Structure 1
């Protein structure tokens, strides 16, 4: 099983993000769950890839040609795909992955997971999507999504389908046992 990891190309301001990213890499390797990620050595991306390599896990990167130099491509990973655009990068990562785990990150991380969530909602795939809620990073986002439900813009099923936890073992277990909701257009 290939797990896409969406995360920051920064480290964040609290060491807990680095520490828990290392825990994630170790736990996924112990379960033989391969990594698909953005191909960089920078920030949490570099930690997840290098820790995964350290644990002898398969690590597949997808990076755009123009980001190869800017993000400093990790040349030690198992396989790297180079593509022309960010859209191609996201498409390739989605194609290669059986599930998605989002760690703390910024706009790029949000864009990646929300595109996958939209695809789930309309039935393009039935893959599990998780938020590794390190240090409560996504608490306010989940509150916002619940407000979207309250205001009638997202169905409750599409917030309930999210796997949200600060416990990576729970996330892995829920990914393995995931059952997707009906897509938005099914009765």
Structure 2
């Protein structure tokens, strides 16, 4: 696994623990030699994780729509910054550039990006692992609601399991890497050619 897309807020949140978690995730990415792909802003948690990845010598790739360059204050110091036409292009490019996904604490945009990737996985559009960084139990309510969706017959248990939830960034990355690794003895090249 060489790259992970991280979805997170353009604000810092109500508690410093969220920025601390962003720095811890940045450290875990660099320690595992995984490049960051994210929304390209320099404000909020987006800026925190990008700055820390860069400070530690890692690679940070941003993808930002032209209309948000000013609002989210596009990060000028990244390894790479792609300015795209709109949100649809942003999400597609972030997906293409990434081998897995992590949602940190964030707002509606973070949830929208997360659920698009979960839906694509559910539909078989991609088979990349998806994780939730559950800082300060941020995603406990979501976990409960998705369980409710399963109980009410709207989500299958195997689709509920698409989202791995951990509060430790290093453990979450290890789980994503294990989920992304081909099974022992699997003919990866053959599978790609037949696919």
TM value normalised by structure 1: 0.94
Name the SS for the 1:143 alignment partner.
Answer: helix
Gaps of at least 5 residues in structure 1 are 181-187
Q: What is residue 107 of structure 1 aligned with on the other side?
A: 108
Corresponding residue of 1:185 = none
Instruction: State the match for 2:79 in structure 1.
Output: 78
- Structure 1 residue 161: Cα displacement: 2.5
Task: Name 1:183's counterpart in structure 2.
Answer: none
What secondary structure does 1:175 align onto? helix
Aligned to 1:184: none
Structure 2 distance, partners of 1:179, 1:5, is: 16
In the TM superposition, residue 162 of structure 1 has moved relative to its aligned partner by 1.5
- Verify: 1:37 aligned to 2:38, yes or no: yes
Matched residues in 2 for 1:49 and 1:105: separation? Answer: 15
* Cα distance in 1 for residues equivalent to 2:180 and 2:79: 30
Number of aligned residue pairs: give it: 180
Distance 2:178 2:133 in 1: 17
How far apart in 1 are the matches of 2:27 and 2:143?
26
After superposition, residues 117-128 of structure 1 pair within 5 angstroms as 117-128=118-129
| Matched residue, 1:16 | 17
Unaligned runs of 5+ in 2: 182-195
Which residue does the alignment assign to 2:99? 98
Residue 150 of structure 1 corresponds to: 151
TM superposition shift of 1:179: 5.8
State the partner residue of 1:167: 168
1:159 Cα offset (Å): 1.0
- Aligned residue runs from structure 1 range 37-56, under 5 A: 37-56=38-57
Match of 1:176 in 2: 177
Distance 1:179 1:151 in 2: 30
SS at match of 1:127: coil
2:114 is paired with a residue whose SS is: helix
TM-score after normalising by structure 2: 0.90
